[in-house]
Amino acid sequence: MATTKPAIAKSEERAAPKRQEPGAASNAMSKVTDTWQNLTHFLSDVRGETRKVVTPSRKEVQATTSVVIVAVFIFGIFFYVVDKIFGYGLDRLLKGLSGTH
């Protein structure tokens, strides 16, 4: 079975596994420094994202609050009507199945 040129090229592209330093102490120290670097990078990203946060104005808060209150009432009325319709239909179905009208 002959290997094709692309298959050989792909196998050569693979990176060599990372060589580990001998000794448990150096491995532990490497993990600690990697963890510290990851933490500091994460906190730097959090700080950058926090700088992008904009506090809404009072007018924006009032507008969105009124939209939410209106939406809650509309959904409440909708679900009340749907519940009554299904309740009535289920009541009629169960009375029809039981034989009493």
Q: Encode pLDDT of 49-99 as tens digits.
A: 999 999 999 999 999 999 999 999 999 999 999 999 999 999 999 998 987
- Residue 8 falls within a domain, yes or no? no
Determine the structural domain holding residue 77 and report its residue range.
27-98
More confident residue, 24 or 11: 24
Model's pTM, two decimal places? Answer: 0.48
Please answer whether residues 63 and 71 qualify as being in contact, where contact means their C-beta atoms are separated by less than 8 angstroms. no
- Residue 9 falls within a domain, yes or no? no
- Residue 12 falls within a domain, yes or no? no
- Residue 5 falls within a domain, yes or no? no
Q: What's the one-letter identity of residue 5?
A: K
